[in-house]
Amino acid sequence: MAKPTDEALALPDFNVAMVRKLNGQFIEDSINLKDFLQHTHKGVILYFYPKDNTAGCTTQATDFTQMLNEFDQLGYDIIGVSRDSIDSHKKFIDQHHLQIRLISDTDERLCQYFDVIKEKNMYGKKVLGLVRSTFVFDKHGTLTHAQRNLRAKDYTQRLLQILSET
């Protein structure tokens, strides 16, 4: 599959596995992100993070949960994406009381589409890892903001400010 440039990125037209918790119950769905956008009539913030229950990833997920109402008022749904399993996501959601949706991309199809798997240096060894990245699509599916290789600390506040000013 050819990798589009950030300017040409669109929400992909294939299904992904997603989980969220609503009224104390887990809801698992297989969703198409294009269809999801049309169904919600809202924009979507798709953020990629390396691993459930790690320091930076937990900070980012809890920050998005804490600011969920502010992003909702601006007209955005928030969806986190990692290569973790649905079961791992459920534990992550429970442990940190997350109110956001999480996509399980165990086959890396979505990660490859957005080109967020890159060579990293971990403890002196080169490994392929997921690069923390965010892609913001408006309610029409147009990419309005993309940032790769970002730091989790204070990022959600900075993103909220960017989106508030546009």
Work out the pLDDT band at 145, boundaries 50, 70, 90: very high
Note the pLDDT of residue 6.
65
Mean pLDDT of 138-157: 93
Q: Dihedral angle at the C-alpha atoms of 138, 144, 148, 150, nearest 10 degrees?
A: -80
Note the pLDDT of residue 5.
57
pLDDT by residue (tens digit) across 69-123? 999 999 999 999 999 999 999 999 999 999 999 999 999 999 999 999 988 777 8
Domains belonging to the chain, first-starting first, are 14-164 (3.40.30.10)
Q: 7 versus 159: which is more confidently predicted?
A: 159
Contact 18, 103 (CB under 8 A): yes
Note the pLDDT of residue 52.
97
- Selecting among 16, 18, 46, 57, the annotated active-site residue is 57
Tell me the angle at which helices 86-96 and 55-66 cross, rounded to the nearest 10 degrees: 60
pLDDT by residue (tens digit) across 4-53? 556 668 899 999 999 999 999 999 999 999 999 888 889 999 999 999 99
Note the pLDDT of residue 7.
61
Work out the pLDDT band at 1, boundaries 50, 70, 90: very low
Mean pLDDT of 54-80: 96
Q: Catalytic annotation on 111?
A: no
Burial readout 97-123 (b: 16 or more C-beta within 10 A, e: otherwise): ebbbbbbbbeeeebbebbebeeeeeee
Q: Which two tokens stand for residue 82?
A: 């990692």
Note the pLDDT of residue 56.
92
Residue 2 has pLDDT above 60, yes or no: no
pTM, rounded to two decimals: 0.92
